[in-house]
Chains A and B, each alone.
Chain A
Amino acid sequence: MSYLDPYTVFTIILVIILIVYMFMETKKKPARVEYVTRELLVCYSCGFQVERDHEPGDFIGLVKGKCPRCGGDLKIKGIYSVDKSKILKAG
């Protein structure tokens, strides 16, 4: 067992570190954030607000449904995208 001199050991370790580093470099990928489009509905008579998923064809200013609190018109105030993981699903 005389052939494992310090120089060889050092070289082998260096090569292993290099391979591990290269492997980690290629595996590393930035996490992709997924976005979903939501819309904000506002009641102009009592100020009630609710956020829902966007439905195709909806646009800002569209009257969509009635306010559950006072019965006034619910209007779409904004359409925007939200990070999917940040939405708290209610119901």
Chain B
Amino acid sequence: MDSDTISLITQIIWLAIFILLITGLNQKIQMRIWAMDIRNKLNIIKRIIDEDRMRVEKIISNLGYKTPAVLVDRVLDFFVIEPVGIEPTDIIKRLDHTLRTGEGTLRRFIENSLPNVGKFERSLIETSMEILSGLNLIYKVIRHYLLTGERENNWILLMQLELVMPTIMKYVETYHMALDPFTTGKPIGDSLGPLVVYNLVEKSKMLSKRVVDDTSIIEAWLEDRRVLFVKAEGPGSNVGHPGAVINSLVEELKGSVDLIITVDAALKLEGEDTGSIAEGVGAAIGDPGPEKIAIERAATKYNIPLRAIVVKMDYREALTVMRKEIFESSLKAMEHVLRLIREETKPNSTVIVAGIGNTIGVPL
């Protein structure tokens, strides 16, 4: 090869690149590469769903139901329609009604198919199926955008999809990992609130316990104060209705409550430490609205101070088996609650302490 041949080859390469650029063919090639990558990841999601589905179906059939696939199929595509938002009159009431109906319907699906199964197992199956249905939704949405993008040669759509895929895969992995605690009943990061309440109850002199609306109310004597603990009824997978219960408790006591404290897990910002504790004011609860507003309304009506203690964690840590750091923080958060009670109230006053979150793995 002499220098003339080399220069000819270089010229042809440059020319080819130039033609690719002006005809947009390079984008077509890039689009194919992106579509291939998305399809590969989609197949991974599909494999995860199939694996998880088999696990859930196995649990259901072990509990004595012969055709688990029918039940899973029915729950997989179950949906809840949000109420109208442009007309704000009693939107909270309508939302609460819709959510409770959805909750009750899912529960009845399972109760009808598995009539002899206890509350604990039922709640685990319920949540496992919700996880499965979440994964299935992610899969279907990604597939929709991939097929649309390919059919319409919409390379911007595919590019966006390719760019969000790592985040989505992280969510998928989190859901996949969350199936472990929800099939075995181990506490998760979000169980922090109920765990703090459980530890506080152990420290205090318990007077009575009742269950209202899937939520436990424990009356106890702690630090010379009458404390009403509120947490979801454990140890199944259950978030209860702490807002509605606090509201009716305050009404029951005719507003003679001196302090309401909510303890919850909060999503941390990237860079913050897992398990760091923060104090604040307001209702620390991450529901779609009805529970939170119930606490705020009760506190506002009778002018009761509303204090919050949160422990920071990320999305994955909140949904998977509780990390040791978070467990250690729960003990520190308990000390925070005790200090808050001592500082903000006098002896013989009444305090409500609510542990917000899924109480899976935490009894009472």
Contact = CB atoms under 8 A, between A and B. Distances in A.
B89 interface: no
B6 A82 contact: no
B2 A79 contact: no
Contact of A59 (B1, B326, B330, B361): B361
A80 B6 CA distance: 65
B150 to A, nearest CB: 24
Contacts of B322: 78-81
B172 to A, nearest CB: 15
B361 to A, nearest CB: 6
A37 B195 CA distance: 17
B363 A60 contact: yes
Contacts of A61: 198, 363
Nearest to B3: A3
Contacts of A78: 187, 195, 322, 327, 330
Contacts, number: 54
B3 A2 contact: yes
A48 interface: no
Nearest to B235: A59
Contacts of B323: 35, 80-82
Most buried by B among A11, A35, A79: A79
Given A37-B321, A81-B323, A56 B3 contact: no
A83 B173 CA distance: 17
B186 interface: yes
B361 A3 contact: no
Contact of B361 (A35, A38, A40, A60): A60
B160 interface: no
Contacts of B215: none
B364 to A, nearest CB: 8
Contacts of B321: 35, 37, 79-81
Contacts of B187: 60, 78-80
B186 A54 contact: yes
A40 B362 CA distance: 14
A64 to B, nearest CB: 14
Interface in B235-277: 235
Contacts of A3: 1-3, 6
Interface string B268-299: 00000000000000000000000000000000
Nearest to A54: B186
A76 B34 CA distance: 50
Interface of B: 1-3, 6, 10, 184-187, 195, 198, 235, 320-324, 326-327, 330, 361-363
Q: Which 7 A-B pairs have the closest CB atoms?
A: A81-B321, A80-B327, A78-B327, A80-B324, A80-B322, A3-B3, A82-B324
